[in-house]
Structure 1
Amino acid sequence: MTKGGDSGYRLAMTVIRKLCFIDPKPQLVAAAEEAGYELLLLRTGKQPFFDLAAALDEHGFEPELVMQTETLADRTIVTGLDTVDCPTMFWAMDPHLNAYWHSAYARLFDVTCSTQRHWIPRIKRQGATDVRWLPIFGRAEPWKPMAERQLDMAFVGRITPQRPARQWMVKFLREKAQGHTLSIEDNLTYTKMMELYGDSRIIPNESIFGEVNFRLFEAASCGCLVMSQDLGEEQEALFEPGREFDTYADVVELDHKLSWYLDNPRLVQAMGMAARERVLSEHLPEHRLARLVSIASEATRCRVTGVEVSKWETLTAVAMWEAGLLVQPVKTILARLADLDQDGDIVAALLRVQSGAKLNKAMSDNLKVILTNNICCDVLDVNLAGSMAALRLDEWDWAKSFWYRHLRSGPERRLAPPTDKFSLLTLWAKELKRADRVVRAGFSFNVEHHLPMSATDCLMTILSEEPEHLPTLRLLDTMLRPIMGLEQARVGFLSILTLFERTDWRLALEIALANLRSYRLESGLEELELAQSMAREQGQESLFRKALATRDRAGLLSRHLAKG
């Protein structure tokens, strides 16, 4: 190896031909075989930990690149990454749901690739230095003319009560499809799904947290016109809006554009063909293979080594265990933590595990030691976890002490002191908002087991005790408003607020927009008309129109009101 920079050593390897793929996508394997690479394919299965060094020894294989692909079914931590003398990569498929553990796991690799560009800062949060954008890919599917396709529209995806916005979207599509052919499927094999897309003209698309998803690439591969939520520059760098696919801001715009495209089959065919050509030219497995090998060839060795390996393996295991993704006895997790140097990351993780396992006596003893010895007094996560753990134990003075430790560790600020549990949780929520830690996306927070570690966690803890706490509902809505994918939750919060503030047209406008972005066409338009009526009665219609104009990119909502 030769020196490559301050972060480590350049992995001196001009040509990479021997690839070790861990849990790879089959299409990527086929592309590597077609390109003549020498491959070792390893499957982790349901093992919580997978020993890479032992597997390489067993196969007698000396890789020139090791890459693990995140799987959606089973979560496995690969160990022994520090022992291989070649670039190591992790391809995060779902960072929009798993960045809370990806950010720890990334420390074990030289390079982490994210399918979502705008989630890269979250993956870097715990110190990963090399995180790249590597989108998912499509396939070379045969072309079928639109006139020969049987379905005007189709949607394939899980439809469950946990995803009410998707249920509302499907309801809207069924109503919209009157006089047209529509297929809604939630349990197809990959092959059957691609066959369905190949027989469909228009594919409405919906994401979880504003991510560029598989559906866009899969449907575009089949030459469908994809109607996707407006996700901004990242999505537009992959497909050109208005030429290769189209976007919508809310259900009103989706309704308007679907009407247009359903009446213009030639345009649908032209855009579907353009999308397919874009896939063939830029978004095939061989394109991603070439990119990842290129990234590896210039990689700097920056993965952790020595005792840091055990630390970051353990922190990854803790994050997965907390979320229920890793089945391990709590004694095993605690033993791993006890074997490590007790720095801020480990101290905070220990408190989270003790809370999750309801080890209240051990947690109480731990808090006493931390406060008495002033341990990690300037580490946000330790002070946050300590304060939240103290509240769990009804130790009010301890909870305040951790808050004041945090304030002393930063720039001097004048903040009103916490007077009770709710005010302390609110202070922490605002502090976490300042640190850009609003939500732990994909993490199912349970107030009975988990310590609040994000702004939303803190506010939901308040609402678990007082569901109609109006200041908290207002603050929560303000924090969630910019985050795509949470509109359906905001509908619930706003509905409670409007029960108490029935004449606030701004609230009515917000619930209208949240409904419309959650595919509730009728309810959203009714609320929009109500908001305008309230504003008119209060002599504030001009303010209402200005507020609406900033959120109505296509002018369709204003046009609807003008018709009324």
Structure 2
Amino acid sequence: MRILNIDSMRLVPAFRALGHEVLSVGYEKECDIQITSPRNAVSLYAQVCSTGFIPDCAFWCDASNLPYLPGIEELPCVTAFYSIDTYCHMWHFGFANAFDAVFVAQKDHLPFFPKDTVLVRWLPLFAPALEESPPMEARDIPVSFVGTRQHPNNPDRKPFLDGFRRAHPLVVYSGPYRDIFSRSRIVLNQTACSEVNYRCFEALSCGTGLLMEICNHGLDELFRPGETILPLYARNNWAQAAGIAANALAVPERLAEIAANGRDLVARYHLARHRAEEVGAIFARLLAEKAPMRRLRQLETRRELLSAAYAMIGAGLTGRLPESYSKHYFAMSGKLTPDAPDTAEDAA
């Protein structure tokens, strides 16, 4: 299968390992085609085809960027969107109308996507691969946290980490996680919006005990607190989190057992290759159903819904970024009204 991967490249290695041909497009310098500003999707598709790579599918994997390929709804191949940072990008719900299928990382957001016209599936996040796992007694960091200490989308994080450090030793680091996690007995996770984020799977892939907050989004379906991850703490309750960590460290044999169970769970169900297999199976189904033909017959209705999504982005950017940003999305919204030009190229 030939897959045009857009935005995040997190699943590209797994797609290729499964034998798919992949051409990547996005802002990342590692992409096969790097773009630096919004492009018309139809003209980009034509550029890709001119190289001899004719996509069977286009897979937009969310990297928390604003949409930068207007006209994506017009592509003749199967299209799918992986919505990940939905909690801070509510426009994803309307943007989904541009695609044949939508994969949703956070389970509780499923009801908000357009199931009548788009195939919607829960697709939890994952770890890239299974990492080396030193024995628990060889690890020299009792508890670690890897991530941005002061994130604009997460004002609760710094006070929580500061409180935890007052109650219990904690290594806080910003940068690649693998070396720190492989040295850690426990990894502390604190999320932006009580979501099941990448860190859950990355920590477990390194064979450490995951200390996670109480949340929904299918957490209790993915993991078993006390068996594959440590008992859960209430969000922002640093004293409770520190107590759970101290209790776990006091019984190293049980901590090692929980960490091993978690790593085995990820190895069996939650690696990038598992998600790539799931996405590939849906692509095969949509190709057999000739899903793009159905989407293209619904363009007028879908454009109206997309118009609302772009207007939401424009309104959200007003007063936060230079005026040109909000004007860009308001303009995109206007071009997708019922009086819009017939093709994305005419609208560009």
- Look up the equivalent residue of 1:249 and give its one-letter code: A
- Look up the equivalent residue of 1:130 and give its one-letter code: L
SS of equivalent to 1:112:
strand
Q: Structure 1: how far apart are the matches of 2:106 and 2:151?
A: 26
- Look up the equivalent residue of 1:322 and give its one-letter code: A
1:298-331 deviations in Å (ceiling 9; x for gaps): 2352535443454344333222222228954638
Q: Structure 2: how far apart are the matches of 1:331 and 1:270?
A: 53
- Aligned ranges 1:14-163 → 2 under 5 Å: 17-26=1-10, 28-43=11-26, 45-51=35-41, 52-73=44-65, 75-84=67-76, 86-98=77-89, 100-124=90-114, 128-138=117-127, 139-160=129-150, 162=152, 163=154
Correspondence 1:184 to 2:172:
yes
Specify the alignment match of 2:249 in structure 1: 262
Deviation of 1:106 after TM superposition, in Å, equals: 0.5
- Give the share of equivalent positions with the same residue, in percent: 23
1:82–1:309 contact (8 Å) kept in structure 2: no
Specify the alignment match of 2:191 in structure 1: 207
2:196–2:217 contact (8 Å) kept in structure 1: no
Deviation of 1:221 after TM superposition, in Å, equals: 0.8
Correspondence 1:317 to 2:310:
yes
Specify the alignment match of 2:345 in structure 1: none
1:53–1:80 contact (8 Å) kept in structure 2: no
Q: Structure 2: how far apart are the matches of 1:172 and 1:33?
A: 44
- Look up the equivalent residue of 2:308 and give its one-letter code: L
SS of equivalent to 1:318:
helix
- Look up the equivalent residue of 2:272 and give its one-letter code: P
1:46–1:74 contact (8 Å) kept in structure 2: no
1:463-505 deviations in Å (ceiling 9; x for gaps): xxxxxxxxxxxxxxxxxxxxxxxxxxxxxxxxxxxxxxxxxxx
- Look up the equivalent residue of 1:183 and give its one-letter code: V
- Look up the equivalent residue of 2:123 and give its one-letter code: L
- Look up the equivalent residue of 1:149 and give its one-letter code: R
- Aligned ranges 1:193-232 → 2 under 5 Å: 193-232=177-216
Q: Structure 1: how far apart are the matches of 2:253 and 2:212?
A: 20
- RMSD over aligned Cα, in angstroms? 2.8
SS of equivalent to 1:303:
helix
Q: Structure 2: how far apart are the matches of 1:330 and 1:29?
A: 33
1:12-62 deviations in Å (ceiling 9; x for gaps): xxxxx2222112424x22222222212222225442344243233332322
Q: 1:339 to 1:221 in 2, by over 3 A?
A: closer
1:231-253 deviations in Å (ceiling 9; x for gaps): 24711222222111021235254
Q: Structure 1: how far apart are the matches of 2:25 and 2:299?
A: 25
SS of equivalent to 1:131:
strand
Gaps of 5+ in 1: 1-16, 343-564
Specify the alignment match of 1:273 in structure 2: 260
2:126–2:201 contact (8 Å) kept in structure 1: yes
2:60–2:80 contact (8 Å) kept in structure 1: yes
- Aligned ranges 1:230-245 → 2 under 5 Å: 230-232=214-216, 234-245=218-229
- Look up the equivalent residue of 1:117 and give its one-letter code: K
Q: Structure 2: how far apart are the matches of 1:121 and 1:306?
A: 22
TM-score between both structures, scaled by the size of structure 1:
0.52
Specify the alignment match of 1:166 in structure 2: 157
Greater Rg over alpha carbons, structure: 1
Q: Structure 1: how far apart are the matches of 2:20 and 2:137?
A: 41
Specify the alignment match of 2:330 in structure 1: 333
In proportion to residue count, which structure has more helix?
1
SS of equivalent to 1:289:
helix
2:106–2:195 contact (8 Å) kept in structure 1: yes
- Look up the equivalent residue of 1:303 and give its one-letter code: R
Q: Structure 1: how far apart are the matches of 2:310 and 2:329?
A: 10
Question: Which of 276, 284, 292 is matched with 1:297 structurally?
Answer: 284
Q: 1:274 to 1:35 in 2, by over 3 A?
A: same
Q: 1:266 to 1:78 in 2, by over 3 A?
A: farther
Q: 1:91 to 1:149 in 2, by over 3 A?
A: same
1:77-124 deviations in Å (ceiling 9; x for gaps): 35244231x4210011111221x2111111110101011111111233
Q: Structure 1: how far apart are the matches of 2:281 and 2:306?
A: 27
Specify the alignment match of 1:362 in structure 2: none
SS of equivalent to 1:61:
coil
Q: 1:308 to 1:142 in 2, by over 3 A?
A: same
Q: Structure 1: how far apart are the matches of 2:332 and 2:187?
A: 50
1:150–1:199 contact (8 Å) kept in structure 2: yes
Q: 1:208 to 1:199 in 2, by over 3 A?
A: same
Q: 1:50 to 1:221 in 2, by over 3 A?
A: farther
2:108–2:216 contact (8 Å) kept in structure 1: no
TM-score between both structures, scaled by the size of structure 2:
0.81
Specify the alignment match of 1:248 in structure 2: 233
Correspondence 1:175 to 2:166:
yes
1:253-309 deviations in Å (ceiling 9; x for gaps): 424322211211222111111111111111111100110111222235253544345
Q: Structure 1: how far apart are the matches of 2:85 and 2:109?
A: 10
1:46–1:75 contact (8 Å) kept in structure 2: no
SS of equivalent to 2:222:
coil
Q: Structure 1: how far apart are the matches of 2:328 and 2:224?
A: 52
Q: 1:329 to 1:31 in 2, by over 3 A?
A: closer
SS of equivalent to 1:124:
coil
Q: Structure 1: how far apart are the matches of 2:16 and 2:336?
A: 43
